[in-house]
Amino acid sequence: MGMEIQQLRVFLAVAEELHFGRAAARLHMAQPPVSRMVRQLERDLGTDLFIRSTRRVHLTAAGEDLLASAQEILAAADRAKASALAAGRGEAGTVKLAYAGASTHVLVGVLAREVRKVHPGIEVRLNSQDFALPALARVLRGEVDISLGRWDFMPAGVDSRIIVEEHLVMAVPASHRLASQGEVHLAELAGEPLVALPPHEGSVLGDRLRRLSLGAGFDPDIVQRAPDSWTAMALVGAEVGCSLTVSSVAENVTDPHVRFIRVVDETLPIYLRVAWRGDSDNPALPPVLSLADHVWPGPTASDSLGGVER
């Protein structure tokens, strides 16, 4: 029979106290079971661990060797137990978060730092996505726990909360004729070369560009597609064209060659949301979502979906 954890705890108590009575009291046990467990351990190992005399108890060489190992084994067992309990309470584990670059990296950093401070046992693993729709699909498939993005429709099984209510802005080169304006109607951009993100289903910016240009009576002249907002803004700075984007991109991009002008055309609201699966069984997710409520309080106390389906 191999050594058991309880046998090692008894051995360690006797080895540290060098007295069976004191060891038993420390373990909240009677002395006879303590003596029996030590004798059983000695039989299992085939060697004496203690030299017992009427006046004192001391360790044999084998007992000295076992002492260091027992301390390591019991410390590891205690750490494993604490880790399992912490994970069960949601105080340890991993939460995977997907987000799209330029507009949300600052928000993501704020949450990750707060989690590290309040719940050091939880690792927030960040996954940068080019676009919001794939990030939402990854939540549905259980590949990530949380996504940040802008979605007009939320699928069943996904819970969401508004973090930021955004408005549309037009990014224009600093040399552009409209660069000094504070506001712009999209009709003023008719015939202008535009830089846009790739067209894909569910793209909020693509949808708003189509709606507003149609309302203004022109087809957008898209001269280049950019893989992400960072690249789109670099192309605007290089005077390739103008680009429709959102206010959070304007707040996070500092390029002296780019100016941002608020688009005043009426359009559907744009919300940046945090989304997660309501039926997730990850115990580390609720404490992270609770901190997210604190660091991303949202635009108002009303947390409704603002008319967006879910």
- CATH of residue 201: 3.40.190.10
d(CA 174, CA 259): 5
| Structure confidence by residue, pLDDT tens digits, 41-69 | 999 899 999 998 878 899 999 998 888 88
Instruction: Assess whether 70 and 116 both reside in one domain.
Output: no
Least confident of 98-107, 114-123, 295-304: 295-304
Residue with tokens 């941002």: 260
Mark which of 39, 54, 88 sits at the end of a domain. Answer: 88
pLDDT at residue 87, as a whole number: 60
Question: Which runs of E-coded beta strand occur in 240-296?
Answer: 243-246, 258-263, 270-277
Residue numbers of the domain that contains 285: 93-163+271-295
Instruction: Assess whether 140 and 280 both reside in one domain.
Output: yes
Instruction: Assess whether 175 and 247 both reside in one domain.
Output: yes
pLDDT at residue 310, as a whole number: 36
Comparing CA positions, the residue from 49, 48, 54, 55 lying closest to residue 13 is: 49
| Whether pLDDT at 85 is above 90 | no
pLDDT at residue 251, as a whole number: 86
What is the mean pLDDT of the segment spanning 222-243?
93
Residue 307 lies in a domain: no
Residue 189 lies in a domain: yes
Is residue 221 helix, strand or coil? strand
CATH of the domain at 40: 1.10.10.10
